[in-house]
Structure 1
Amino acid sequence: MFKPKRHYLALSLAAALSIPAAVAQQADDQQQAAPEDMERILTLGSRVNGRTATESASPIDIISSEQLVSTGATELGKAIQMTAPSFNFSTTTISDGSDIIRPATLRGLGPDQVLVLVNGKRYHQQALVNVQETIGKGSAGYDINSIPISAVERVEILRDGAAAQYGSDAIAGVINVTLKSGDTSSLSAEVGQTYEGDGENVKVGLNIGTTFSNGYFNGTLEYRDRGMTNRAAPATLEATGGQLIGNWWDENGDPVVRLHIGDADSKNYYAWFNSGFYLTNTTELYAFGGISQRDGGSAGFFRGTGHPRTIEEIYPDGFLPQLDTEADDTSLAVGVRGDLPNAWMWDASVVYGKNEFTFGSSNSANVSWYYEPDGNGGIYAETPTSAFDGRLTAEQTTFNLDFNGTVDMGTDLLYLAMGLEMRRDGYQIEAGDPVSWSYGRTNDPSIVIETDSGDPAEAGIQGFPGFSPGQAVDADRDSYGAYVDAEYYVTPDFRLAGALRYEDYDIAGDNISGKLSARYDVSDDFSIRGTLATGFRAPGVQQIYYSQVLTNIVNGTLVQTGTVANDSEVARQFGINQLEEETSQSASIGFIKRFDSGFDITLDAYQITIDDRIVLSEPLTPDVGQEFADVLEANNLGAVQFFTNSVDTKTTGVDIILSYPTQLAGGSLNLTGAFSFVNTDVENINSVSSLIPAERIYNDTQVLRLEEGQPGEKATISADWDKDAWHANVAFNYFGEVKGKAFTGIEHTWSSKWVTDVSVGYDFTDDFTVSVGANNLFDTYPDEWGDDGIPFSQAGFKYGWETLPFGINGGYYYAKAIYRF
């Protein structure tokens, strides 16, 4: 194996932060696939006990592949949630596509206010827009689970505003996923299920790494089959006499389970790679990326007998509509990097990413198709029970040209990084089958279609009505950016770093962001660091172009309701302006303390204010005001909602990381404590339209979710013990209380909970390890919703619906094996 001689800083987080080579060299040595005189370093700084890069001027967590695997989680988002307290991965159910792509957040902000990178390059966003009553409503963030755990070498989390270095989205911080590149190969397998006997999980992963004289290749294949879970309670519905969209009791008048509340069924396929080829001793051609496909199956609301939505000739006992989804991801990065004179380096790359989200319905019906008059005095009496509902596609192509190096200032070196970026973001909505969205076969609202009971027949397939040709879109947006950042040691103990970035977007306009960081090493074992930064987030193409307008019955009349695209003329008629960028100001201060015993502590306090946050308004009806009602009527609309720059927020918090290595029973013991305290306040609500009062465009329900929907306190206390062939881990995860009032209008608090995870592993040989474990060992569940949730708590939502940070599956046990070769 080679002995690296040269420190080659790829422009990942380390380069953008201008970390000196002497600091970056403290990274772990897994990056071994390089020629004799080169070393690729894709890290943020030094690691302390596998947790925190304490040499940086900003707070950074580094989570190794071993730590991710030891959590027992089979999906990357959940594994990060169990190791990084500032990261939240909220569980959703009966929330359409959000059941498959769950919202991932950092520091209590939105899913689209954290930037995700892969190998230091910008990753593409998801096509799905969170439009249901979930965390991150109105946002389209990053699909963390599109990256397989088997391909990940480590995850680096920069807990600091970084828009001046990386551009849009990096308000809360940056998550960088580093792919494996070493020459070690492995085959892993895992099986598990919940204590209740459902949620069967099977995962098989193959990672093959190889090095050759001029480069390396690492490839990953992974398959995961996650079975559904269901924690729905019997639908007692005492308050409504068994009625909720028809009769929910059985033929004997007894309560039965009618809903599917829990994890969706999901089959996952991945193929990823990471590679490099050294054209010369100083120039590398690299490529990485992958494809993933996830097929999901979830459910909507039960339709009972005796209701106009239920065609009893097809479903004599009622029916539960099924939502069949498919999330497809493609990602490819190709670049060349090399040396320049005077120890400077360059990196040119093109990254393409695409996310497609396909909606389909089954076990359903279009009532208007069934009861549509056939022209001969009768009705057609038929409807498809499944349909293609449409497809959302988000594409992103990014070109980067980056340079970094040093300038001799006489007394010391000035470390510089600078670069250019050009990006194109595209968004498409493909219309579904006519049966998925239309009113009868001709979609003619003048035709009177009534059910057997004489009620007006509703349009579209039930569960998830499809996208109509009127919502179809194929649009894109260009942006351009340039940045420079610098780092200088004023004295050997005092370091200053600054960054400046300019970006110009076709639609949102231009922005200049800046960042100034400082670190002072008071002594060898005590340091102080802090940052002042401005940032921004450009509106996503999803928020600009997304629309879904449905035909519903309001007061016996067919009208359209739904989300109106921000770029439409209809939005202008309601006084809704074109979306602008969100802007932020952030400040943080912290310290690092190291003790001779090996005990380390880092504490960082921060404040982030965001102006003009983009949110999805409430559905607005004619009672908003007469002028508003007139515009609704003129457009044959019954209710509308919009994406608007309507909210100003302030977020404050503290992150604390503790680490202590010691000995126990003849083995090594690593103790870690990680704590996150965060609070968000909505300081202003701006209507942006003279037709809509501020309290209507973003009401108390949405404010409460933004302020209290995510845990204000989150902690992980873990112990890792190794002795000879034995390995053991125990982790105590704390989730603070959350609040919500969606669906019922009644505020409810779900109290804080501790969740315990354990695992034990044994090395049968140096290459073969078997382990068993349990997540949520003591089978902890959220509080029951109770009377505050009526009628939904009596329909089956025993534990709530809106804000469930650790889910409702209860305990899960598993066994897994890994063979290295």
Structure 2
Amino acid sequence: MSRASFKLGYLALSLSAAFAVPNTVLAQQADVNAESDESMERIVTLGSRVNGRTATESASPIDIISAEQLVNTGATELGKALQMSAPSFNFSSTTISDGSDIIRPATLRGLNPDQVLVLVNGKRRHQQALVNVQETIGKGSAGYDINAIPITAVERVEILRDGAAAQYGSDAIAGVINITLKSSDGGSISAEVGQTYEGDGEVNTVGFNYGVESDNGFFNGTLEYRDRGMTNRASPAEASLIGDWSSPDGEPVVRLHIGDADSENIYAWFNSGYNLGSTTELYAFGGISSRDGGSSGFFRGRGHPRTIETIYPDGFLPKLETEADDQSLAVGIRGDLPNAWLWDASVVYGKNEFGFNSSNSANVSWYYEPHPDGGIYGETPTEAFDGELVFEQTTFNLDFNGTIDIGNELLYLAVGAEMRQDGYEINPGDPVSWAYGRTNDPSVEITTPSGAGAEAGIQGFPGFSPSQAVDATRDSYGVYADAEYYVTPDFLLAGAVRYEDYDIAGDNISGKLSARYDIDSDFSVRGTVATGFRAPGVQQIYYSQVLTNIVDGTLVETGTIANEDEVARQFGINELEEETSESLSLGLIKRFDSGFDLTMDFYQINIDDRIVLSESLTASVGAEFGEILEDNNLGAAQFFTNSVDTKTTGLDIIASYPTELLDGSLNLTAAMSFMNTDVEQVNSVSSLIPGDQIFNDTQVLRLEEGQPSEKATLSGDWTRDAWNVNLAFNYFGAVEGQAFTGVRHEWSGKWLTDLSVGYDFTDNLNVRIGANNLFDTYPDEWGSAGSPFSDAGFKYGWETFPFGVNGGYYYARLNYTF
């Protein structure tokens, strides 16, 4: 693949070609009704604003994943089901990473979670309030909470693997994911139970969906409940990190919780439409979700200043209990205009709230604070509300589309405008969660029995203080034009241009032009070149926090400094600007007489001024830097900056072949994704901080090698009468990391096997049993390269887990339709 860089103007010319069959990952399920199957696979709402455009006519590669395919993965979370269905989509597992243990980073084509745009029913969805600030994939970003949408409510998912900022606006650098909600008549009740081979991680899911249709419209509602138990793959601790981790009898004992967090989820969603007349429809959709999670921090052992041995004589493991609440509502009117034009006006509101609560913990400074009558107070709460993050978004859209006669052909034209307001709040926690003693007076000397100074705040996740409280908004507006024109019956040209203006970060114009050429009925070529952008998120502008992080192997108080804060200017950090991108894709599609179909798409994405969260920087940067840290009572600081230029190249290959086997129909599919990201340049944005320190080798390595460079799914789906068997082999390529230890380490690629068998007892009742990761495959063990963390319980590593550390999982599912 070429690594040559290229420069584009605001408008870019592209070559693009349709393919002879739907470009789907697993779009050949034989037991789907033929009529509904054709509608699901062929008619798309993504990538083109031409009504009725089919996937076969699309100018860009689009994966279409049906509800049945999502369910047949055996996954009960939408993000995990997409990871098992779309090779360009990654849903990294995290552990001991605070809120990221509950809202996992979802990425497309190897980029960051906030560089993909998510739509629901074609309308922009709001992002999550949580910012990934720990050493995980997507560090420094706030993407989308994919799991806030229940699988039971989903009709299909369309994934546009093409830069689309000119069509859909900010964030669509990697592509667009459109989640279409169910609108069908009838209902279903489903239940799934499962657990890991180790006997933990129990999952219990119940889903209910019911829809009604009439001449006046439709209503479809979904209720879902899911309870996921924790998993723990920590090994017995042979070494200690914080205090003495040994057991009273001196035998190694498990001190950490490494694996999935507890998660209890409740969903209520709906989709509806009502005909106001023969040419006008009122529509509304949305839902609420509530998720309670439970994860852990680091164990505090005996003899350490952070351990109050009168409360925890054998040490303690701080618990983090999180509450993720999500609400969304879209209301719109659409209808017909003269000359076959259409109009659509809508308002979409979304809100994501993420609350933090600590338990099984303590505020050491609260306990050892001197009492006015002598001695110490000798008491501290062991639980607290740590604070809450809130993201709100309101989006208004007005769109028109139709055709204009040009000679003997029609020009398909769409124009529109968008106004959006993004809001961000940080609500402070209980005083005990963040304060230094009861008065929060740094002049008061509070020491532990060892003579060490007492740390402020509750342990595990210190709370947000009133000084970090935020309630801010940002307004933006955009206008666009989108056109498609058949130069000849075999040659389609398309283009889009979009202007957006933000009251923070300025304005931008992006463009995209496309073409598709059918060489013959069985062979086509396509390609795209475009410019794009992503405005800095309000989360990246306003987020701040003080956490206990590991820096150079030592626990220190690390401040994430809000970009808009004057303290950031003291360190020489500039205000954030938008990211800009230039992308190219070229593809071919071939259909053979045997029924074998092949698509191949190459892409390159150049991004300048990527917004990243810097390394945690200490006084070792320089004397002046150290003085500013000391003035702000910090041991380290990190910042959001436009510091990195990257180039991502990749190749997606999808092949399908239908045949017959043992008097049944067999559909074979191969879907492979090859991706490589290079950090081309690191730019220092501060005279105090060298570029190689503000984003050091550890952070560069995570961007380049933290996600699998190769990902593949090879599957076979066999149906005969009432039987269905699905066998899939999923490959996750090697990943590398060096956070925490500073030692670069590679975890090799692994194949995972999934097998499920379904049987239709009646036309309405289906039972399926299966196993994911059938052969109980785990990542490589970290070994001595991970010392001291591997000695303390991190058997398989920490930083990057493309498929997790749970091992095998088996399940049974029942589905009844009516």
TM bucket (normalised to shorter chain) is over 0.9
Who is 1:302 aligned against? Answer: 299
Match among 368, 372, 381 for residue 384 of structure 1 = 381
Counterpart check, 1:95 vs 2:92: no
8 Å Cα contact 1:786/1:798 also seen in 2: yes
Who is 1:212 aligned against? Answer: 214
Q: Runs of at least 4 residues of structure 1 off by over 6 A? A: 551-555
Counterpart check, 1:671 vs 2:668: yes
CA deviations 1:354-377 (Å, max 9, x no partner) are 000000000000011111111122
Correspondence 1:56-67 to 2 at 5 A: 56-67=58-69
Who is 1:12 aligned against? Answer: none
Which residue identity does 1:729 align to in structure 2?
A: N
- Structure 2 counterpart SS, 1:280: coil
| 2: CA distance, partners of 1:469 / 1:277 | 46
Counterpart check, 1:324 vs 2:326: no
Who is 2:189 aligned against? Answer: 187
8 Å Cα contact 1:45/1:54 also seen in 2: no
8 Å Cα contact 2:17/2:59 also seen in 1: no
| 1: CA distance, partners of 2:179 / 2:634 | 45
Who is 1:119 aligned against? Answer: 121
Which residue identity does 1:66 align to in structure 2?
A: E
Who is 1:342 aligned against? Answer: 339
Structure 1 pair 596/551, CA: closer, same or farther in 2 (3 Å)?
Answer: closer
Who is 1:246 aligned against? Answer: 243
Which residue identity does 2:404 align to in structure 1?
A: V
8 Å Cα contact 1:400/1:422 also seen in 2: yes
Who is 2:706 aligned against? Answer: 709
- Structure 2 counterpart SS, 1:165: helix
TM-score by length of 2: 0.93
Structure 1 pair 31/276, CA: closer, same or farther in 2 (3 Å)?
Answer: farther
- Cα deviation, residue 630, structure 1: 3.5
Correspondence 1:229-268 to 2 at 5 A: 229-237=231-239, 243-268=240-265
8 Å Cα contact 2:460/2:548 also seen in 1: no
| 1: CA distance, partners of 2:550 / 2:215 | 69
CA deviations 1:338-369 (Å, max 9, x no partner) are 00000000000000000000000000000111
| 2: CA distance, partners of 1:754 / 1:248 | 36
Who is 1:441 aligned against? Answer: 438
- Cα deviation, residue 430, structure 1: 0.3
8 Å Cα contact 1:458/1:553 also seen in 2: no
Counterpart check, 1:767 vs 2:769: no
- Cα deviation, residue 770, structure 1: 0.5
Counterpart check, 1:810 vs 2:807: yes
CA deviations 1:163-221 (Å, max 9, x no partner) are 00000000000000000001021000000000000000000000001102200000000
- Structure 1 counterpart SS, 2:797: coil
- Structure 2 counterpart SS, 1:642: strand
Counterpart check, 1:203 vs 2:205: yes
Who is 1:514 aligned against? Answer: 511
8 Å Cα contact 1:529/1:589 also seen in 2: yes
- Cα deviation, residue 45, structure 1: 8.5
| Residue identity (%) | 78
- Structure 2 counterpart SS, 1:597: coil
Which residue identity does 2:184 align to in structure 1?
A: G
Correspondence 1:263-302 to 2 at 5 A: 263-302=260-299
8 Å Cα contact 2:287/2:327 also seen in 1: yes
Who is 2:12 aligned against? Answer: none
Counterpart check, 1:428 vs 2:430: no
- Cα deviation, residue 253, structure 1: 1.3
- Cα deviation, residue 390, structure 1: 0.3
- Cα deviation, residue 18, structure 1: 14
- Cα deviation, residue 65, structure 1: 0.4
Who is 1:489 aligned against? Answer: 486
Match among 465, 469, 472 for residue 472 of structure 1 = 469
Who is 1:49 aligned against? Answer: none
Structure 1 pair 28/579, CA: closer, same or farther in 2 (3 Å)?
Answer: farther
- Structure 1 counterpart SS, 2:635: strand
Who is 1:145 aligned against? Answer: 147
CA deviations 1:383-430 (Å, max 9, x no partner) are 000000000000000000001100011220000111000000000000
- Structure 2: runs of 5+ lacking an equivalent: 1-15, 28-32, 49-53
- Structure 2 counterpart SS, 1:522: strand
| 1: CA distance, partners of 2:721 / 2:37 | 26
Match among 133, 136, 147 for residue 135 of structure 2 = 133
Who is 1:311 aligned against? Answer: 308
Who is 2:609 aligned against? Answer: 612
Structure 1 pair 270/29, CA: closer, same or farther in 2 (3 Å)?
Answer: farther
Correspondence 1:316-715 to 2 at 5 A: 316-549=313-546, 561-715=558-712
- Cα deviation, residue 57, structure 1: 1.1
| 2: CA distance, partners of 1:249 / 1:691 | 43
- Structure 1 counterpart SS, 2:751: strand
Correspondence 1:12-23 to 2 at 5 A: none
- Cα deviation, residue 287, structure 1: 0.2
Which residue identity does 1:147 align to in structure 2?
A: I
8 Å Cα contact 1:45/1:55 also seen in 2: no
Who is 1:747 aligned against? Answer: 744
8 Å Cα contact 1:229/1:261 also seen in 2: yes
| 2: CA distance, partners of 1:190 / 1:626 | 59
| 2: CA distance, partners of 1:497 / 1:745 | 48
8 Å Cα contact 1:54/1:592 also seen in 2: no
- Structure 2 counterpart SS, 1:453: coil
8 Å Cα contact 1:611/1:648 also seen in 2: yes
8 Å Cα contact 1:31/1:41 also seen in 2: no
| 2: CA distance, partners of 1:117 / 1:150 | 17
- Cα deviation, residue 668, structure 1: 1.0
- Cα deviation, residue 639, structure 1: 2.0
- Structure 1 counterpart SS, 2:276: strand
Which residue identity does 1:95 align to in structure 2?
A: S
Greater shift in the superposed pair: 644-653 or 597-606: 597-606
CA deviations 1:664-712 (Å, max 9, x no partner) are 1111111110000000000000011111100010000000000000000
Greater shift in the superposed pair: 657-666 or 389-398: 657-666
Greater shift in the superposed pair: 618-627 or 596-605: 618-627
8 Å Cα contact 2:44/2:55 also seen in 1: no
CA deviations 1:600-639 (Å, max 9, x no partner) are 1110000000000000011112221233233334444432
| 2: CA distance, partners of 1:504 / 1:658 | 41
- Cα deviation, residue 42, structure 1: 5.3
8 Å Cα contact 2:17/2:526 also seen in 1: no
Greater shift in the superposed pair: 593-602 or 527-536: 593-602
Greater shift in the superposed pair: 620-629 or 593-602: 620-629
TM-score by length of 1: 0.93
| 1: CA distance, partners of 2:140 / 2:306 | 28
| 1: CA distance, partners of 2:38 / 2:218 | 9
Which residue identity does 1:152 align to in structure 2?
A: V
8 Å Cα contact 1:756/1:776 also seen in 2: yes
| 2: CA distance, partners of 1:509 / 1:177 | 30
Q: Which has the higher contact order (CA 8 A, sep 6+)?
A: 2
8 Å Cα contact 1:514/1:534 also seen in 2: yes
Which residue identity does 1:130 align to in structure 2?
A: N
Cα RMSD after superposing both structures: 2.3
- Structure 2 counterpart SS, 1:185: strand
Structure 1 pair 560/807, CA: closer, same or farther in 2 (3 Å)?
Answer: closer
| 2: CA distance, partners of 1:723 / 1:706 | 45
Which residue identity does 1:190 align to in structure 2?
A: E
- Structure 1: runs of 5+ lacking an equivalent: 1-16, 34-39, 47-51, 238-242
